[in-house]
Amino acid sequence: MYANLTIQLADAFDSRVFRVWGAIYAAGTLFLWLLITLRSVIEMKTTFQQKALDRVLPVIDEFKQGQVSRTPEEGISSTTTRHEVA
């Protein structure tokens, strides 16, 4: 908003100083917003990956131990071994 007002002052007073300052301020503001957006996207990706891993790793560990207990669609069921299923 401050950058827009500075640019409007440049138009109103026909001032090159306000025009340059408004352009610099607008570019700086845009750069900061892009950095914040990029950081937010990276953090969201990390958060969603961690939640997915927290959900999948216990199931993988059970399969490695030879147990079949659940799938994400079925929810939690009783633990049975591979030999009991076959």
Model pLDDT, residue 74: 55
Model pLDDT, residue 78: 47
Model pLDDT, residue 64: 77
Residues of the chain with pLDDT under 70: 67-86
Model pLDDT, residue 47: 82
Model pLDDT, residue 86: 46
Model pLDDT, residue 40: 93
Q: Record the pTM.
A: 0.55
Sketch the domain layout of the chain as residue ranges. Answer: 2-85
DSSP of 42-71:
HHHHHHHHHHHHHHHHHHHHHHHTTEEEEE
Say if residues 84 and 68 touch (Cβ distance below 8 Å): no
Model pLDDT, residue 68: 60
